[in-house]
Amino acid sequence: MLERPIESYESVVAWEGGLRGQWGGDPFAEDPAKLQTLAAFCDFIAKDPDALVAFCFLRKRATGERFASKQRRDELMPKLKEFEEAAGRGVEARRRRSHVVSFLSHNGVLIY
């Protein structure tokens, strides 16, 4: 369970901003499933949205430079697949996965 409203997390604000910039409108009001799905995924992996994004990045030991971690992506992908498959197969299940992927993409994390 999240400790505060999901819309208040910085990464969710970034997601909303990204969606609004790309498509216009009010993305969460128009499609409440986006936030509901992200909340469900956060429950599933026991991380809040900001922690989920932070999990996908590491810092280089030598320089401290932040980078998107392949290792972390590889850890996350089976979880995402499991989450998707819990909804069955087909476009609806894929959409469930896609909401999470969209959230990550708009936070600079590419996962597929």
Partner 1 sequence: MEFTEVIGGRRSIRFFDPDRPVEREKVQKILEAMRLGSCAMNAHWLRAVVVYRDQLPADTFEKLKLPVAGVLMELAPVHIYCYGDTSVIAKDHGGNPKQLIDIGALAPSHGWTYRFVDEFVWPQLLEPLTTSPNYPAAMAFDDGGCATLGLLMAFNEGLGACWSAFNTEAAKEAFGIPDDWIPHYLMNLGYPLESREAGGQRPRPPFEKLYFEGHVSKPFRRDEAVVEELKQRKMIQAPAPLPGRQQELRDLARRLGLPE
Binding region for partner 1 (CB under 8 A): 19, 22-24, 27, 73, 90-95, 98-99, 101-102, 105, 110-112
Phi, then psi, of 57 in degrees rounded to 5: -120, 145
Closer residue to partner 1, CB minimum distance, 64 or 88: 88
Task: Please report how close the Cβ of residue 74 comes to partner 1 at its closest, in angstroms.
Answer: 11
Which secondary structure element, helix H or strand E, spans residue 103, and what is its range?
A: helix 91-105
Closer residue to partner 1, CB minimum distance, 13 or 110: 110
Closer residue to partner 1, CB minimum distance, 14 or 101: 101
Task: Please report how close the Cβ of residue 1 comes to partner 1 at its closest, in angstroms.
Answer: 25
- Dist CA 77 CA 83 (whole Å): 10
Task: Please report how close the Cβ of residue 99 comes to partner 1 at its closest, in angstroms.
Answer: 7
Q: Considering only CA atoms, which of 28, 8, 11 is closest in space to residue 19?
A: 28
Give the pairing type, strands 66-68 and 57-59: antiparallel
